[in-house]
Structure 1
Amino acid sequence: MRRTHLLRFVARAVAGLTLGFLAGCDIGVEDLPLDDTPPVLSSQVCYEDSDCVANACCGEGTAITHRDEGPNCAGVRCDGTCPPDSVDCGRCIPTCRNARCAAACQ
């Protein structure tokens, strides 16, 4: 009987520590720096990151906008160039932050 309680206690302790470490390691988009981020062109409400895109295809956009106002990149072939002031090569990704499109940059 005593061994069962000890095993249950150890299992709960391990599970609690694991969940605590996983939750403590999360860096949300809200925690990313806001310095030198590309401008946002849209005021439409977003619900998830996929609602937000760069304002040009192939990662060459210089601003972030809602996908309804963004370019149609279907059939566009990218040449692999990477302007330093573009969204992707400026190390940014379009994200949905507080129901508005924004850029998360490194």
Structure 2
Amino acid sequence: MRRTRRGPLVVFLLGAVLGLGAGCEPIDVADLENPLGLSDTTCYRDSDCAPNGCCGEATNPTHVSEAPSCVGVRCDGTCAPNTIDCGRCIAVCRDSRCASACQ
């Protein structure tokens, strides 16, 4: 007896149609403002860049040589909106300059 392969194909097509039909709204690129880097110092890798503040209160990325030392700083666990840290952005090296990569 010959088995048909229509079952998996139908399930695949149904999933594709439903997945495409339930898509997301377009993202407005104007809403995704990445904080600009403050430093003109050349970076070579992501570890050369850091936030310009401690405890999630940074507003821009900068080179580690110009970043504040957060050793001994006690944080209270709060996070101001639109700061670079607190899960919103990370400091990265892009085109040899410190920049931010935001979610």
> Which range, TM-score by smaller chain?
0.5 to 0.7
Q: How many residues get paired?
A: 74
Alignment partner of 1:45 out of 25, 42, 45: 42
2:90–2:102 Cα contact (<8 Å) kept: yes
| 1:95 aligned onto 2:92 | yes
**Distance in 2, Cα, partners of 1:96 & 1:79:** 29
CA-atom RMSD, angstroms? 1.8
| 1:61 aligned onto 2:67 | no
Sequence identity (%): 58
**Distance in 2, Cα, partners of 1:48 & 1:78:** 27
Q: Deviations over 1:55-75 (max 9, x none)?
A: 111121011110101101111
**Distance in 1, Cα, partners of 2:56 & 2:97:** 20
SS of the residue 1:58 aligns to: coil
Post-superposition, which runs of at least 4 consecutive aligned residues in structure 1 deviate over 3 A? none
**Distance in 1, Cα, partners of 2:72 & 2:87:** 24
TM-score (norm 2): 0.65
TM-score (norm 1): 0.64
2:82–2:88 Cα contact (<8 Å) kept: no
**Ranges in structure 1 where 5+ consecutive residues have no aligned partner:** 1-32
Give the Å deviation of 1:78.
1.3
Give the Å deviation of 1:89.
3.2
